[in-house]
Structure 1
């Protein structure tokens, strides 16, 4: 299967520069935080979010090069994303992420929390220095949304009354808000029309939601080695995602297993079997497909270019992760 990073060829050199700049932006004043940042930015992540920002910058300004403000926006986007992951790993007590040790497992919780706070603060500083109030508002909203999503998830563990609409709203806060608002911010910096900027926001929103739904399907269908965490870990912790929510509509007994928090022997294994036997996974796949199709449609007003094609390919890649 094609890897995500192979789709970034129009901005491959830009992403290499981004990784170097991220380490410089953090600075070396605080040795332990710099060590944490070196670990994070050298961990070989896919860099999907900044790649989308850079590709959109090229797609909205096809006759110009990427501006320094677009580059800084891509760096800010990755800093915000990384900060949120550091905090998430502390909350979830995760020892590894995608097979790489987490900051709190390498150092300790105190350093991890401080590292996440430091990255949020750094991103806010560089955001303010873009001197564009609309972009500041868009990305500041993201930081608020990320916290909101984590709180909502924490308050809804084992809650079988959660609807698909509630799930998508939480998924927006946790995953799609950063892609959606950074995509719109690209449009603002490129001085596109209001309608085009809104289309870029909708592109990011739909792509982000599709990405999250696919992640949640893989939690049931992927191997622990591929996932970098035990399969079914979301369900076991009481985080109900699309496959489980759709299955509950079809198999009411699943609610009983979840509401008693898998307290009886073999409850969890039975719940997994019921979800696989239901239409939960196939309906979730269709939900992700619909969002990917909408994301691609939102790009239709951009002029044809290698960058626009790469954005369409990335959208389709999200679904290919399921194959």
Structure 2
């Protein structure tokens, strides 16, 4: 419910007309109803959390809501920094996803009945964080690779919002003119098209996909701390599917 609420709010912020190929909530019902709908879901999620009776889980998931909002603000106001080191050191685009998945995974371990030691909680947190970053990096690749039919939304959506994600930042290393586009947040007419062309003529997409695979590998490494089981095998398959997904 928290995730769906964040999508409703995202579509307002992003001025998105489509969500998975259908009209988005803001397009269908207006911004006010979309925001109120998201708020309603957050309220219901909070009520459900309180009924779990696990104070640690309530605190974890409540902090996720704060982190999601902080992530959106940071994403909207991020000042471009020289070089694609930003992609590796502090990937803003994947931060909200990684926090959601990291704390959600940790909460699942708590709810599973673990009462002794912090090891399994830390393993779950690390797995979720790395998987979340990998997921978002693949999402950023698909924004350049896939068409509207596959994504259910127009390609280049991040650029139109003034956001420079992994492919654009890596392309900056190979095409200096990308820096000026990033600095002015692709606001001038033709900036988005030029940026997409620069990315296509660079190794930005390939390098971003490689980075996603690296984070997925870290997630798989983390799982090796767990005993062999059907559940661990399912998490390994999930990790591989995140990297291979095309939508």
- TM-score, normalised to structure 1, is 0.70
Stretch of structure 1 that moved more, 261-270 or 217-226: 261-270
Structure 1 counterpart of 2:211? 287
In 2, distance between residues paired with 1:113 and 1:267? 30
In 2, distance between residues paired with 1:106 and 1:265? 28
Confirm whether residue 297 of structure 1 aligns to residue 221 of structure 2: yes
Secondary structure (helix, strand or coil) at the match of 2:72 reads helix
Structure 2 counterpart of 1:256? 180
In 2, distance between residues paired with 1:100 and 1:133? 38
Structure 2 counterpart of 1:172? 95
Confirm whether residue 181 of structure 1 aligns to residue 106 of structure 2: no
- TM-superposition CA deviations, 1:159-197 (whole Å, max 9, x none): 432722565245222x12111111101111223341111
Confirm whether residue 217 of structure 1 aligns to residue 141 of structure 2: yes
The count of corresponding residues between Structure 1 and Structure 2 is: 242
- TM-score, normalised to structure 2, is 0.90
**8 Å CA contact 2:150, 2:246 repeated in 1:** no
In 2, distance between residues paired with 1:85 and 1:265? 28
Unmatched runs of 5 consecutive residues or more in structure 2: none
Confirm whether residue 161 of structure 1 aligns to residue 81 of structure 2: yes
Secondary structure (helix, strand or coil) at the match of 2:57 reads helix
Q: CA deviation at 1:216?
A: 0.2
Query: Structure 2 residue aligned with 1:245, among 155, 169, 190?
Result: 169
- TM-superposition CA deviations, 1:112-165 (whole Å, max 9, x none): 111111111111111122111111111011000000011111213xx4327225
Q: CA deviation at 1:231?
A: 1.2
Highest CA radius of gyration, 1 or 2? 1
Structure 1 counterpart of 2:67? 145
Backbone CA RMSD of aligned residues: 2.0
Structure 2 counterpart of 1:127? 49
**8 Å CA contact 2:14, 2:161 repeated in 1:** no
